[in-house]
Amino acid sequence: MEPTQVLIRPVVSEKSYVLSAADRYTFRVHPDAHKTEIRQAVEQLFDVKVLDVRTLIVKPKPKRRGLTRGRTRRWKKAIVQVRPGDTIPIFQRLEGIES
């Protein structure tokens, strides 16, 4: 699998920003990707050294709109820890912007 197929997109949430301060970055990954593929993809795409990869399956949640019931999709998440001093630029906080 190509590195661009393994990593689908970064997960942008409050928790992922807190983890990025500790050199841990969160990605949505291909459901069939294993830890070695995720490690190689992050190292190739972002030119960083990966120390640890943790994966988990995010379970679907029930949703309802009116009388229609359904569920969200199941997806795979990876939390990647990089070497201290290495950063992934897409997770850099925006300076000077207040909410």
CATH number at residue 23: 3.30.70.330
Which is it for the CA torsion 27, 32, 33, 35, positive or negative? positive
Query: Hey, what are 25's tokens?
Result: 């970055």
Give the DSSP H/E element, type plus range, for residue 6: helix 3-6
Show Cβ contacts of residue 78 under 8 Å, excluding neighbours closer than 6 positions: 26, 27, 29, 33, 35, 38, 53, 54, 55
- Report pLDDT for 8: 95
Q: What is the pLDDT of residues 53-77, one digit of tens each?
A: 999 999 999 999 999 999 999 999 9
- Report pLDDT for 98: 47
User: Distance (Å, rounded) from C-alpha 50 to C-alpha 18?
Assistant: 18
Q: What is the pLDDT of residues 8-57, one digit of tens each?
A: 999 999 999 889 889 999 999 999 999 999 999 999 999 999 999 999 99
Residue pointed to by tokens 């190689």: 40
Give the DSSP H/E element, type plus range, for residue 73: none
- Report pLDDT for 95: 44
- Report pLDDT for 96: 45
pLDDT band at residue 90, thresholds of 50, 70 and 90? confident
Tell me which residue range forms the domain holding 23.
3-86
96: in domain: no
21: in domain: yes
- Report pLDDT for 50: 97
Per the structure, how many domains does the chain have? 1
**pTM for this one?**
0.85
